[in-house]
Amino acid sequence: MNIEELKSSISAILPSAVYDETGEFLNVNIASEELYPLINELRSNSEFDFDYLFCLTCIDWKDHLMMVYHLLSKTHNHTIVLKAKISNRENSEIATVCNIWRTAELLEREVFDLFGIKFINHPDLRRLFLSDDWNGYPLRKDYVDENMISL
Amino acid sequence: MRGLIEDDYVTEEGEFVINMGPQHPSTHGVLHLKVWLDGETVKKVQPHLGYIHRSIEKMSESLSYRNFIFATSRMDYLAAHINNEACALTVEKGLQLEVPDRAKYIRTILAELTRLQSHLLWWGCTGLDLGAVTPFFYAFREREFIMEIMEETCGARLTQNFMVPGGVMYDIHPNFQKRTKEVLSQIKGKFQEYDNIMTGNVIFENRTKGVGFLSKEDAISYGVTGPTARASGVSCDIRKLIPYSAYNQVQFDEILDNGGDCYARYMIRMQEMKQSVSIIEQLIDNIPEGEFQAKTKNVIKLPKGEFYQRVETPRGELGVFIVSDGAASPYRIKYRSPGFSNLSALPLMAKGGKIGDLVAIMSTIDLVIPDIDR
């Protein structure tokens, strides 16, 4: 599918999706509650067939958090970037995708560890790198560590 | 580790829980695996990470676009060139900067020399892990010549920091072409020797054939890349799919295998070494004259936006994702490191096998721990 076809097909599933084509890939902006039905369809529908999640991460935009999913289809060779906005910083949560792509299990644990996002239905949500009693989430922009030395 | 003390050492089903690592020779670093064993059979594996996590992503947020690249040499220290190249390419993508042809050729040659030395080290260590000591000495004998070339041109053996935004830091050393050709002709004569001592060995084949199977579907689902995925039949060589630097100027094959076991992964890397030699041979006499670095401003500022670059390291696909807000340092950087995703498939591959096979699997995934922890 080319970009126009992707846009119209995604809009048929989720009319509220907002597109951004300024970057290298097609960006699809959605709200965090809308993530799972859409992303499940993107994987299971053979017209999309996004079988390869090659990057999963989070960005802290200070007033909200944003989950970023880079998806690629090995069969159709098309790529999209799905961005889910999480407005609630204090109690941030989003559906897990690790039953769709197994690689997400460790990647989501990393995001939980460093950004503090809770993944609903994740089978084993524990801190990945830091110790269990660590305070705060280091990759958040408001994280303060008194021992941190600025270069 | 709190998690360890809380658990019983023997579960209710009679399984023993043991810790492999973080100080275990076969983990090539500080990887800690918690293994559930029924006799010698592996029931479950759980990796524990973070022993050398330096938070390079967080550090990079306060470094300039020139400086953050140097930290990436410490991620996958066996492929420092390629990590640096990935970052340089991402910054160039943001600046829409055209790199001189000479720099592209030098980058590609150095990247392939890096791949060669990384695979050589892997070959030696695999032998060591599976009980053969001699290959280690063979591999390091040839690898040393490559390291000397690196030292002469880049000034360092492992953490070269030679790729900068716009090209390479210096021009190549006058001896570079001559010595590279000498080393290549030497290594080409040794491949047969490597095969004689390891590939056809009965003990080695018994330890690797049919061990640690990974199917094509699982490889894609787990995000496995590099030789590990290609051994399961997944076409994923970024050098072929999205050519960068001078890879569109050279002829080479993407090596694929459908075996999916440790032996297939071994064979893929053995053949990739020959492909690397061929790539360097095609480029080494044709390095174009001209500038080795494009002109850049003293303080690099990327325009607002997001930039993603994928490159092929010896271990798989490295992705660099830079989010810029227009300032002189990145707003957010994410490294999609190959080792991290490859490791996530280890519990699946090891399940149901013997504890000795776990060593063979770890060895043929070719894990580099700083790449996983970052």
Contact yes or no for A135/A116 (Cβ under 8 A): no
pLDDT at B311 over 90: yes
In a 3-state reduction of DSSP, which class is residue A73? coil
Select from A59, A70, A114 the Cβ nearest to the Cβ of B323: A59
pLDDT at B6 over 60: no
- pLDDT for the residue numbered B331: 92
Burial class, A20, CB count within 10 angstroms (exposed 0-12 / middle 13-18 / buried 19+): middle
Helix, strand, coil percent content, chain A, rounded in steps of 5:
25, 25, 50
For domain A3-92, which CATH number applies: 3.40.1350.10, 2.40.50.140, 3.40.50.11860, 3.30.460.80?
Answer: 3.30.460.80
Q: Verify that B44 and B68 share a domain, yes or no.
A: no
Q: Verify that B20 and B63 share a domain, yes or no.
A: no
Cα–Cα dist B296/B139, whole Å? 40
Q: Verify that B279 and B157 share a domain, yes or no.
A: yes
Residue A81: list chain B partners with CB under 8 A: 306
Query: Which tokens sit at B302?
Result: 């990327």
Select from B62, B93, B344 the Cβ nearest to the Cβ of A106: B344
pTM exceeding 0.90: no
Strand runs (DSSP E) across chain B, as ranges?
16-20, 32-38, 41-48, 163-164, 167-168, 305-313, 316-324, 332-336
C-alpha angle B324/B160/B152, rounded to 5°? 145
pLDDT digits (tens, 9 = 90+) for B278-299: 999 999 988 988 888 888 888 8
Residue A128: list chain B partners with CB under 8 A: 49-50
Q: Verify that B26 and B148 share a domain, yes or no.
A: no
Nearest CA in chain A to B334: A57
Average pLDDT, stretch B139-158? 90
- pLDDT for the residue numbered B225: 92
pLDDT at B102 over 50: yes
- Work out the pLDDT band at B51, boundaries 50, 70, 90: confident
**Count of structural domains within chain B:** 2
DSSP-assigned letters across all residues of B143-154: HHHHHHHHHHHH
pLDDT digits (tens, 9 = 90+) for A97-134: 988 998 999 999 999 999 989 999 899 888 888 888 88
In chain A, domain spans? 3-92
- pLDDT for the residue numbered A150: 63
Q: Verify that B44 and B60 share a domain, yes or no.
A: no
Contact yes or no for B28/B129 (Cβ under 8 A): no
Q: Verify that B43 and B68 share a domain, yes or no.
A: no
Select from B57, B336, B373 the Cβ nearest to the Cβ of A55: B336
Average pLDDT, stretch B41-55? 89
Contact A130 B2 (CB under 8 A): no
Contact yes or no for B149/B113 (Cβ under 8 A): yes
Q: Verify that B158 and B28 share a domain, yes or no.
A: no
Contact B58 A54 (CB under 8 A): no
Going residue by residue through chain A (151 aa), what tens digit of pLDDT does each one get?
Answer: 787 888 888 888 888 888 888 888 889 999 888 888 888 888 888 888 898 998 899 999 988 999 999 999 988 888 999 999 998 888 888 999 988 998 999 999 999 999 989 999 899 888 888 888 888 888 888 888 777 676 5
- pLDDT for the residue numbered B8: 59
- pLDDT for the residue numbered A151: 58
Cα–Cα dist B325/B302, whole Å? 8
Select from A24, A25, A106 the Cβ nearest to the Cβ of B340: A106
- Work out the pLDDT band at B20, boundaries 50, 70, 90: confident
pLDDT at B109 over 90: yes
pLDDT digits (tens, 9 = 90+) for B234-264: 988 999 888 988 898 898 988 898 888 999 9
Q: Is B223 on the interface with A (CB under 8 A)?
A: yes
Average pLDDT, stretch B338-359? 90
- Beta bridge partner(s), residue A85: A31, A66
Contact A24 B223 (CB under 8 A): no
Give the CATH number, domain containing residue B318. Answer: 1.10.645.10
Percentage of residues of chain B with pLDDT beyond 70: 98
- Residues near A57 by beta carbon (within 8 Å), at least 6 away in sequence: A67, A68, A107, A111, B321, B334, B336
Contact yes or no for B42/B350 (Cβ under 8 A): yes
Q: Verify that B24 and B104 share a domain, yes or no.
A: no
Q: Verify that B253 and B364 share a domain, yes or no.
A: yes
pLDDT at B5 over 50: no
The ipTM assigned to this model is 0.88
Residue A103: list chain B partners with CB under 8 A: 221-224, 341, 344
When the pLDDT of each residue in chain B is averaged and rounded to a whole number, the result is 88
Nearest CA in chain A to B338: A54
Contact B321 A55 (CB under 8 A): yes
Query: Which tokens sit at A126?
Result: 């524990």
- Residue B196 gets which letter from DSSP? I
Cα–Cα dist A109/A96, whole Å? 10
Q: Is A102 on the interface with B (CB under 8 A)?
A: yes
pLDDT at B374 over 90: no
* Sign of the CA dihedral with B342 first, then B347, B352, and B354 last: positive
Q: Is B6 on the interface with A (CB under 8 A)?
A: no
- Residue A34 gets which letter from DSSP? G
pLDDT at B2 over 60: no
- pLDDT for the residue numbered B269: 92
Question: What domain range is B17 assigned to?
Answer: 2-48
Q: Verify that B62 and B139 share a domain, yes or no.
A: yes
Contact B321 A57 (CB under 8 A): yes
